[in-house]
Chain A
């Protein structure tokens, strides 16, 4: 991942050309970041078609607002933030879930069973995968986004914090919640 707040000369030039309406230059930027932007959207909405649509919308919004982009953060982080915001808004609008915010989410952690205990190693891999997909659906978009951005996209806590616009401590607690939740579901499956 590129260092926040810095663009190489090539990228700065592409951004500048895109600002002036050069759609071809913008196409190069799209090619460069499309996979990761789709990954961010997918981490939140967990549906491929929606993620693709949201990623397209992300790039269109970015193009429209290029004049507002300042080089304080990296272009990629700025893009991922747009993608995450759009995806979370989409999820809320669709009303498919109950979203837990701030302290509500944190208190949920306390309600979880203890994390110590049996391992789920013995459960078959395919069964685990199927259950894991279902378990991911049960997470709030914020918690799902945090764990997928970390585990699948390989983002650091600071990057996740910047993309999701929340403190690093929140990233840590959400990750802990998501991991504990998923582990307990899978552990229950292993116990059945």
Chain B
């Protein structure tokens, strides 16, 4: 059986399972027969537990941000600085392009969607409305018969040329309303009052 002095050097490593298998066996064999070394081993175990219990790990709140802040204040080598500057510029240019593209795309979609409404709104607001009667604006407004012709007849070259847009034709009350896009004019034709 090995001497206690010899085994005591290995007791800690035995506790830590850091011995070679044959050494582990030798120490285990000794411990089975030696009360004193078994007591030392138990003390080592208690010591380990005590050390773990008294060690207070300090609070690490804000630790990493403090390190990063320090790191960012470090003077960088010239090459690194140039590289980082270029990368930042590329990143900002890249994001600038992305934003510009998004804005342009949104503008195009808006224009496409809003154009018909804009036309309607513009026409409503700006087209003059002329109330014509047969005697005052004969030159400007066609006669009801002519209006009826326009409404019913096949389009001709002359009709296309005039581009009259008849929106309402009320023959019963002899009122006709049409617009003249070429002249930016809406015409309301009323018959002469008796």
Residues of A within 8 A of B (CB): 20-21, 23-24, 26-27, 30-31, 34-35, 38-39, 42, 48-49, 51-52, 55-56, 59-60, 63-64, 114-121, 125, 128-129, 132-133, 136, 147-148, 150-152, 156-157, 172, 175-176, 179, 182-183, 186-187
CA distance A177 to B42 in the complex (A): 17
CA distance A64 to B5 in the complex (A): 48
- Would you give 20 A-B contacts (Cβ < 8 Å), ordered by A? A20-B84, A26-B67, A26-B71, A27-B68, A30-B64, A31-B64, A35-B57, A38-B63, A52-B63, A60-B67, A60-B74, A114-B8, A116-B8, A116-B36, A120-B43, A120-B46, A121-B42, A152-B55, A175-B16, A183-B47
CB distance B50 to A119 under 8 Å?
no
CB distance B53 to A129 under 8 Å?
yes
A175 to chain B, nearest CB (A): 5
- Other-chain residue from B5, B47, B56 in contact with A179 (beta carbon distance below 8 A): B47
Kindly report which residue of chain B lies nearest to residue A184, judged by CB atoms: B43
Contacting residues, chain B, for A21 (C-beta < 8 A): 76, 80, 83-84
B145 at the interface (CB under 8 A from A): no
Residues of B within 8 A of A (CB): 4-5, 8-9, 11-13, 16, 18, 36-37, 39-40, 42-44, 46-48, 50-58, 60, 63-68, 70-72, 74, 76, 80, 83-84, 87
CB distance B70 to A129 under 8 Å?
no
B46 to chain A, nearest CB (A): 7
CA distance A50 to B4 in the complex (A): 40
B47 to chain A, nearest CB (A): 6
- Other-chain residue from A23, A31, A183 in contact with B40 (beta carbon distance below 8 A): A183
CB distance A55 to B63 under 8 Å?
yes
Interface centre among B5, B12, B80 (most CB of A within 10 A): B12
CA distance A179 to B71 in the complex (A): 39
Kindly report which residue of chain B lies nearest to residue A64, judged by CB atoms: B74
CB distance B43 to A42 under 8 Å?
no
10 further interface pairs, Cβ-Cβ under 8 Å (given A151-B47, A183-B43): A21-B76, A60-B74, A116-B36, A121-B46, A132-B47, A151-B52, A172-B12, A172-B18, A179-B44, A183-B47
CB distance A116 to B4 under 8 Å?
yes
Kindly report which residue of chain A lies nearest to residue B42, judged by CB atoms: A119
CA distance A52 to B63 in the complex (A): 8
CB distance B58 to A52 under 8 Å?
yes
CA distance A114 to B40 in the complex (A): 10
Kindly report which residue of chain B lies nearest to residue A118, judged by CB atoms: B39
Kindly report which residue of chain B lies nearest to residue A60, judged by CB atoms: B70
CA distance A38 to B71 in the complex (A): 18
Kindly report which residue of chain A lies nearest to residue B36, judged by CB atoms: A116
Contacting residues, chain B, for A56 (C-beta < 8 A): 63, 66-67, 70
A115-B40, A151-B51, A183-B40 known; A35 vs B70 contact (CB < 8 Å): no
CA distance A51 to B55 in the complex (A): 12
CB distance A48 to B55 under 8 Å?
no
CA distance A53 to B156 in the complex (A): 94
CB distance A183 to B58 under 8 Å?
no
- Other-chain residue from B16, B44, B54, B68 in contact with A30 (beta carbon distance below 8 A): B68
CB distance B71 to A23 under 8 Å?
yes
A27-B68, A34-B60, A56-B66 known; A119 vs B9 contact (CB < 8 Å): no
B128 to chain A, nearest CB (A): 65
CA distance A59 to B5 in the complex (A): 43
Contacting residues, chain A, for B46 (C-beta < 8 A): 120-121
